[in-house]
A and B are shown apart, each in its own frame.
Chain A
């Protein structure tokens, strides 16, 4: 159990109709911790990630972020979401706005920052992800890897307490994966609290403090990456690793 818990899921259960997608999930993410969630498709890892900011409501259990239980839909939930950044598989940049506007919009409208301050910060973040030169373009004019880096900058512009990554590289061409992982790696080194759902085992090994392995809606293993990858405890995890690591 981490010393300073930031995200705590306790007894979380979720059903999609008949399908039981999250089963009695217990997960604590400490402040500054990087937790990588892996597992076969359909194991519930994306749902778990989306449940943390209530993009997916859960039927049972409690989820708290920084000591606050997730409020029901409404302004209180919006305030909480403002503090939790999210990066999606399909980038989801606002298609009708320029790159700079994408990064500035929420700080302006949600945080009510001044325009000059929001723009200065947005340019700083775009510079950090290496895309300042593209500030005036529309998302559709960027490559997938570039769009995803903008999406990360957009989330960071809100000064989030934690960042959720829902398969951030799964929709990318292979040669663009690294540019996104490098930004994430850097974030992890700076002490950002991160929950990362991914298939990138290299990232899990190098950046994660803990690896959570899920299958059939349950957390099967929750361990230090080195231990998990060299000596998985369960057959299920061994089977999964053998399929993805050797080919």
Chain B
């Protein structure tokens, strides 16, 4: 028990790091994921191909490998950023592939006639998607996106291995200070639960708000 009270600020810093990674990478993943989903259903072939390649590459690369590629690869091309930013990029890009597929599944639940009606009124592809299709897709997309963001929160632990302050990484200094491994990890687990259950709670609320019968 004393491991938590003695090292409250260490745990706090780690938890805050995980929250930051989750929020920033989550925002990036949502923005990019929705955009790429738009690409994948667009009438322009080049965009569809780009979207497919994006998803295929990122979804099929182990996240650790992706971290290596970003943290070691980008500096070789002269892109030198703080490790935290690299971690957000890697996590965000990786998660965007899953968000994209969830959004695309949602788009497919919207009856074809909705898009046809929008187009018959003179709406462009972008207007049809943003005004008619996506708002209706959102309802069915809320649960899988919640799951994806929970996975993101847990995946952010990998950033700890790359010198980014986050929750899991706090075990190392605590271990060196001689605290018992079990209680160290129990409190880390509680920290993750705080983050993931918060995400689950938020998405539960969203679902109740927007998931109403049509």
Q: Please, how many residues of chain B have a CB less than 8 angstroms from a CB on the other chain?
A: 20
Q: Which residue from A55, A81, A93 sits with its C-beta under 8 Å from B122?
A: A81
Q: Which residue from B114, B116, B121, B214 sits with its C-beta under 8 Å from A110?
A: B121
Q: Is B124 an interface residue (CB 8 A)?
A: yes
Decide: A75 near B124, CB < 8 A? Known: A94-B132, A96-B135.
Answer: yes
A136 to chain B, nearest CB (A): 16
A109 & B131 in contact (Cβ 8 Å cutoff) = yes
For B119, give the chain A residue with the smallest CB separation: A81
B114 & A53 in contact (Cβ 8 Å cutoff) = no
List the A side residues contacting B213 at CB < 8 Å: 140
For B130, give the chain A residue with the smallest CB separation: A109
The dominant DSSP class at the B interface is helix
B113 & A90 in contact (Cβ 8 Å cutoff) = yes
Expressed in whole angstroms, the Cα–Cα distance for A137 and B52 within the complex equals 40
Query: Interface digits, B96-123 against A, CB 8 Å rule (1 contact, 0 not)?
Result: 0000000000000001011011111111
A86 & B114 in contact (Cβ 8 Å cutoff) = no
Expressed in whole angstroms, the Cα–Cα distance for A154 and B43 within the complex equals 25
Q: Please, how many residues of chain A have a CB less than 8 angstroms from a CB on the other chain?
A: 30
Expressed in whole angstroms, the Cα–Cα distance for A79 and B123 within the complex equals 8
Expressed in whole angstroms, the Cα–Cα distance for A155 and B132 within the complex equals 16
Q: Is A95 an interface residue (CB 8 A)?
A: yes
Expressed in whole angstroms, the Cα–Cα distance for A140 and B214 within the complex equals 7
B122 & A95 in contact (Cβ 8 Å cutoff) = no
Q: Is B136 an interface residue (CB 8 A)?
A: yes
Decide: A92 near B124, CB < 8 A? Known: A78-B119, A109-B131.
Answer: no
A110 & B120 in contact (Cβ 8 Å cutoff) = no
Q: Is A35 an interface residue (CB 8 A)?
A: no
Decide: A106 near B121, CB < 8 A? Known: A94-B132, A140-B214.
Answer: yes
Expressed in whole angstroms, the Cα–Cα distance for A113 and B138 within the complex equals 28
B116 & A81 in contact (Cβ 8 Å cutoff) = no
B115 to chain A, nearest CB (A): 9
Q: Is A190 an interface residue (CB 8 A)?
A: no
Expressed in whole angstroms, the Cα–Cα distance for A151 and B113 within the complex equals 12
A96 & B136 in contact (Cβ 8 Å cutoff) = yes
- Which residues 128-151 of B have a CB within 8 angstroms of A? 131-132, 135-136
For B136, give the chain A residue with the smallest CB separation: A96
Q: Is B161 an interface residue (CB 8 A)?
A: no
- Which residues 112-153 of A have a CB within 8 angstroms of B? 138, 140, 151
List the B side residues contacting A79 at CB < 8 Å: 122
Q: Show 14 residue pairs from A and B whose CB-CB distance is below 8 angstroms, ordered by the A residue.
A: A75-B124, A79-B122, A81-B122, A88-B117, A90-B113, A95-B136, A95-B214, A96-B136, A105-B131, A106-B118, A109-B127, A110-B121, A140-B213, A158-B121
Point out residues on A near B: beta carbons under 8 Å: 53, 55, 73, 75, 78-86, 88, 90, 92-96, 105-106, 109-110, 138, 140, 151, 154-155, 158
